[in-house]
Amino acid sequence: MSSALEIRNVSRSFGATNVLQDVSLSVPLSGCVGLLGTSGSGKSTILRIIAGLEEPTAGQVLVDGQDMRAVPVEQRGMALVFQKALLFPHLNVIDNVAFPARMAGQRRAEARRHAMDYLELVQLADYARRPVGKLSGGQEQRISLARALARNPRILLLDEPFASLDVQLREDMYELIRTIRAQLAPTIVLVTHDRQEASILADSIAVLDDGRILQHGTVHQLHYQPATQAVNRLLGGLNAIPGEVSDGRHHSVLGHLPVQDDAPDGPALLVVRQEALTLIPPDESGPSTLKGAVSALTSLGARTLVRVTVYSGDSNPPAPPAGRGPQDPAVGGASTWDEGPAATLTVDVAGNPHLLPGQVVGVGLQDNRGWAVPA
């Protein structure tokens, strides 16, 4: 059974320290919202308040419209999965998963039959009689998830449950969460500091900083339409160009680029995702293409980050010093051609672009449009 969740104007203070400040958030029936932020931003405190493990200083937690303040923890219909599995060491796998049903008064045989359904869901039915002390980390988390789901929770709360797993195990767990959502449609609140994990698993992301929600929106909105530079950074954005907005355009060393219609006039940063930029050979560039010199390349394995120094004026890099061509590795971008205002753009490209520092390239902007945030 799934339920809709609403957090309404919740604050939490410890003495003079405000851990949460007027937080409001809605999670629709069978939806998954990721709470993303750095350590100490208040993510886990929100989860504990939803679960009833902590009381808010102010505000309400509502499940299907019902205020949870007077509802005991065990009656809220919440299931919480932590980073550490916290399995009962004296019980084997099936009895760990059957534990919630046993506490609800079911007979052992019936509780174990119920538990087997969830062990099959997490693909560990063959491990039913195994002691939990002989499980791997990934298996422990699968059992922890199975035990949580066996409670038939109204809300499933995940507190960085995959943070201690290696990359392959995390990817396996992501696939498991997709399977669980497809078969059971639970309402999920996921706490994570990993933007990729939030983007893969959540329908929407709420970005927290210093106890406040900076922005809550879809994965695409958070990446391409951040509300602030802090959101842009937390979502991995690498480009933020200072300038000024007037008449719907951002004016900077990059030129005069159109931005969102409701961007207010005044100082602003132009934020452009590195994935929204493309490299274009200079001889194929058009009038709207920026031109610059490659200043650095960073390999990410299957992808490469290319940093391009773009100069003001006609967007063409100054001529390199006499005796050196633009593809000469000794030509070091802005450090060699430092002849006026410049900005560095980072472009994410597939594979090896086969470029050299100092090489002149064109940079194209998807839709020839940017996004402005307050400076």
What whole-number distance in Å separates Cα of residue 77 and Cα of residue 276? 43
Write the pLDDT tens digit of every residue in 235-288: 999 999 999 999 999 999 999 999 999 999 999 999 999 999 999 988 776 766
40 shares its domain with 149: yes
What whole-number distance in Å separates Cα of residue 213 and Cα of residue 216? 7
Give which of 362, 350, 260 is closest to 310, Cα–Cα.
Answer: 362
pLDDT (average), residues 146-153: 93
Question: Is residue 33 situated within a structural domain?
Answer: yes
pLDDT (average), residues 86-91: 92
Backbone angles phi, psi at 163, to 5 degrees: -65, -30
- Enclosing domain of residue 366: 274-374
Question: Residues near 35 by Cβ (< 8 Å), separated by ≥ 6?
Answer: 43, 46, 47, 189, 190, 191, 192, 205, 206, 208
278 shares its domain with 218: no
What whole-number distance in Å separates Cα of residue 55 and Cα of residue 42? 14
pLDDT (average), residues 359-371: 90
Mean pLDDT of the chain: 90
202 shares its domain with 78: yes
32, two tokens: 């998954």
Question: Is residue 137 situated within a structural domain?
Answer: yes
pLDDT (average), residues 309-334: 47
Write the pLDDT tens digit of every residue in 346-364: 999 999 999 999 999 999 9
Question: What is the CATH classification number for the domain harbouring 298?
Answer: 2.40.50.140
Angle between helices 137-149 and 93-103 (to 10 degrees): 20
Is the Cα dihedral 133, 135, 141, 143 positive or negative?
Answer: negative
40 shares its domain with 111: yes
pLDDT of residue 337: 44
pLDDT of residue 326: 41
pLDDT band at 342 (very low <50, low <70, confident <90, very high): confident
pLDDT of residue 297: 97
- Counting other chains too, the contacts that 51-55 makes at CB distance below 8 Å and 24 or more residues apart are 51/76, 51/78, 51/80, 51/157, 52/76, 52/78, 53/80, 54/12
What whole-number distance in Å separates Cα of residue 242 and Cα of residue 7? 36
- Give the pairing type, strands 342-350 and 360-365: unpaired
Q: What percent of the chain has pLDDT over 90?
A: 81
Task: Give the number of C-alpha atoms closer than 13 A to the C-alpha of residue 124, restricted to the C-beta side.
Answer: 29
- Domain C-terminal end among 189, 224, 259: 224
Coil, helix or strand at residue 209: strand
Edge-to-edge strands of the sheet including 240-246? 255-258, 249-252, 240-246, 266-271, 371-374
129 shares its domain with 38: yes
What whole-number distance in Å separates Cα of residue 362 and Cα of residue 280? 5
Q: Across the strands, what pairs with 258? A: 249
Quickly tell me which residue has 């799934």 as its tokens. Answer: 2
Question: Is residue 324 situated within a structural domain?
Answer: yes
158 shares its domain with 292: no
Give which of 101, 59, 107 is closest to 79, Cα–Cα.
Answer: 101
pLDDT of residue 369: 87
Question: Is residue 247 situated within a structural domain?
Answer: no
DSSP string, 148-208: HHTT--SEEEEESTTTTS-HHHHHHHHHHHHHHHHHH--EEEEEES-HHHHHHH-SEEEEE
pLDDT (average), residues 149-171: 93
What whole-number distance in Å separates Cα of residue 166 and Cα of residue 290? 40
Q: Across the strands, what pairs with 233? A: none
pLDDT of residue 334: 36
257, two tokens: 């680029």
Cα 237 to Cα 42, 225, 273, 301, 342, distances in angstroms? 22, 11, 6, 19, 19
Total domains present in the chain: 2
Q: Is the pTM of this model over 0.85?
A: yes
Question: Is residue 297 situated within a structural domain?
Answer: yes
68 shares its domain with 156: yes
- Domain C-terminal end among 182, 199, 224: 224
206 shares its domain with 141: yes
Question: Residues near 228 by Cβ (< 8 Å), separated by ≥ 6?
Answer: 214, 215, 373, 374
74 shares its domain with 188: yes
Using the predicted structure, report yes or no on whether residue 313 has a pLDDT greater than 60: no
326, 294 contact by CB (below 8 A):
no
Question: Is residue 34 situated within a structural domain?
Answer: yes
50, 42 contact by CB (below 8 A):
no
76 shares its domain with 18: yes
pLDDT of residue 325: 41
Using the predicted structure, report yes or no on whether residue 320 has a pLDDT greater than 80: no
Using the predicted structure, report yes or no on whether residue 323 has a pLDDT greater than 50: no
Is the Cα dihedral 171, 173, 178, 182 positive or negative?
Answer: positive
At residue 352's C-alpha, the angle toward residues 277 and 170, to 5°, is 80
- Domain C-terminal end among 224, 256, 290: 224
Identify the weakest region by mean pLDDT among 209-218, 225-234, 339-348: 339-348
pLDDT of residue 349: 96
316 shares its domain with 185: no
pLDDT (average), residues 57-66: 96
Question: What is the CATH classification number for the domain harbouring 60?
Answer: 3.40.50.300
pLDDT of residue 331: 31
Question: Is residue 22 situated within a structural domain?
Answer: yes
Question: Is residue 261 situated within a structural domain?
Answer: no
192 shares its domain with 76: yes
